[in-house]
Amino acid sequence: MIRLTSACNRETYTWNQRMTVTLEGIVSGFSVVEVTALYCNPGCGLARDIEVNYSYRGEAVAVEVVPGQWLFTLIDHQAEPMYRASPDPFGGIPSGDRGRWLAATPRQIEAVELTGGFRPRLVTFADIAVPARVEAVDADTLAAVFGEGVRLFGGDFGGDARGG
């Protein structure tokens, strides 16, 4: 008789992560989001090729850019950009070792700056009173939406659950 055992492990990791958005000048906003990651070692996920399934609980970052005009940073897919943008936040854990990376993430308090393709999605509303009319905003062309001189200074994620 031959018995086969599965080497599939599933671990759940949860942490709070602060997302901060800063526009040029003194305008900024932040939100603290709870991230839960269900990790399955390679080949064992529900779809066999998915190692991590993330879920989020929190609110979008809202920044009043000019009176009556708001910029919102959506909270979807926050953990993956943080993972990809981190140069080496955990002192030598290979980027491909996602299980160890996820286990260390709750202890990460240094912010990871997000640039280029790692930036979260930005949206605004033509009329804040009618939220059904959402409009995507390109981080590189904020002036086209909000007026001359408005530009994104920075955006980052950090594990600082204190939020302020």
> What are 14-49's pLDDT values in tens digits?
888 888 888 876 788 888 888 888 888 766 655 555
H or E element at residue 49? none
Give me the torsion for CA of 119, 23, 129, 33, rounded to 10°. 50
The pLDDT tens digits of the residues spanning 45-99 come to 555 556 778 888 888 899 998 888 899 988 766 566 666 666 566 677 776 777 8
Q: What is the pLDDT of residue 164?
A: 40
H or E element at residue 99? helix 98-104
SS3 at position 140:
helix
